[in-house]
Structure 1
Amino acid sequence: MSGGQIPSDAFTPVQVRVVLPDGQAVVARLWSRRQLHDGWRYEVGLPAYRNGPGDSVEPAEYRVWVRAPEHVRPVDGVSYDDVPTEYLEPPTVVQQALGPPRLSGWVLAKTGGRGPGRGVVHAADCEEAPAGTPVLTLDRALDAAQHPGTRLCSLCGAAQELDPVLKGFDHDAGDA
């Protein structure tokens, strides 16, 4: 199957062994599984108890997503063929070439000094961008970049991205 999700209409969860943080393994119910970019996650229902009306205690199930195969083991004789499974869509050729998407926007890192506009404009995902700084829209980043004393970071590409917009996409006549 190439993508999407297997319908879970008449699915009855099956048994699976879950390895707990302390190393012990318990039998749980497997509800679904999902393929992600960094591996598989299994939605399991762990047996538990909860307080009921009055002083009663009743059985319950705690559902959680766990990593597979690190925290999940099969139970002998159980078929997992009908477990609702969501497969990751394979990346397109363009996505493979471009890599993961970047965080959009820009941030202004203040550099101190006197006067307005002392700073560096970075792409939002730049390693040099200060944490917790508000993300600027394109218009705000361009406004900040026009102040004397503000420069564009060349490490993250803010200079290559914003300079053409600031300078009107100037081209040499010999480029055509």
Structure 2
Amino acid sequence: MADTPPEPEPPPIIVVLPDGQEATGRLQERHQVPGTWLYKVAIPAWQNTPSGHVEPAWYVVWVQAPDHVKPVPGVSYDDVPTTRLPPPSAEQQILGERRLSGWVLQKLDGGRGPGRGVIHAVDCEEAPAGAPLLTLDKALEAAEHPGTRLCSLCSAAAELDPVLKGFDHGFDGAE
């Protein structure tokens, strides 16, 4: 039976602690997420055993790079397991970031009864904070109430008007 070589020790990395102190830990893994990188680091610490003794241990945590880690000069991180996001599709490159889907209802006149209201896209600056998210069916149902209008500052009017009035509305002089 052949001996297997021991796993190489993860490379050292400087971990910036919440109070600004720096500790040398080990970089175990890197993971790219939208907008940033997360690094899985192990920092030496102490732990208590069930028998009441104190022994060395590794505290393992995911931290955000580069805010919470610094490279050690002269150390290569090429062999660290790394998960990258797939490259953006042609559609994503052309269209860019997409907004969250859904709509919210801003109740006017104090919000009591079937009064007036405005339907906003969920990410509209005028949308009320904490309003429940409406599905397409619920947004259309709310839009059909008299006194409810679609916000023209966001995409609510452009998205919901064609569904409410028909997709041919506004073409060839049809109203």
> TM-score with structure 1 length normalisation?
0.82
Match for residue 22 of structure 1 among 19, 22, 42: 19
Match for residue 53 of structure 1 among 50, 53, 56: 50
CA distance in 2, matches of 1:42, 1:11: 18
- Look up the match of 2:4: none
- Per the TM alignment, residue 115 of structure 1 is displaced from its structure 2 partner at its CA by 4.8
> TM-score with structure 2 length normalisation?
0.83
1:1-21 Cα shifts (integer Å, max 9, x gaps): xxxxxxxxx664222121223
1:68-91 Cα shifts (integer Å, max 9, x gaps): 233322334533221001112222
Matched, 1:75 2:72: yes
Q: Do 2:109 and 2:115's aligned partners in 1 also have CA atoms closer than 8 Å? A: no
Distance 1:115 1:28, change over 3 A: closer
Matched, 1:135 2:133: yes
- Per the TM alignment, residue 145 of structure 1 is displaced from its structure 2 partner at its CA by 0.3
- Per the TM alignment, residue 48 of structure 1 is displaced from its structure 2 partner at its CA by 1.8
Let me know the Cα RMSD of the aligned residues.
Answer: 2.2
Moved more, 126-135 or 73-82: 73-82
- Look up the match of 1:108: 105
- Per the TM alignment, residue 157 of structure 1 is displaced from its structure 2 partner at its CA by 1.2
Identity of aligned residues (%): 65
Distance 1:115 1:42, change over 3 A: closer
Which ranges in structure 1 are unaligned for 5 or more consecutive residues?
Answer: 1-9
Q: Do 1:109 and 1:120's aligned partners in 2 also have CA atoms closer than 8 Å? A: yes
The SS at the match of 1:170 is coil
Match for residue 143 of structure 2 among 142, 145, 161: 145
1:118-141 Cα shifts (integer Å, max 9, x gaps): 211111111111111111111110
Distance 1:11 1:169, change over 3 A: farther
Letter in 1 for 2:161: D
Q: Do 2:27 and 2:40's aligned partners in 1 also have CA atoms closer than 8 Å? A: yes
Which ranges in structure 2 are unaligned for 5 or more consecutive residues?
Answer: 1-6
Q: Do 2:108 and 2:115's aligned partners in 1 also have CA atoms closer than 8 Å? A: no
Distance 1:157 1:77, change over 3 A: closer
Letter in 2 for 1:62: Y
Letter in 2 for 1:128: E
Work out which structure has the larger RCO, using CA pairs closer than 8 Å and 6 or more positions apart in sequence: 1
- Per the TM alignment, residue 67 of structure 1 is displaced from its structure 2 partner at its CA by 2.6
CA distance in 2, matches of 1:83, 1:69: 16
Letter in 1 for 2:121: A
Letter in 1 for 2:48: N
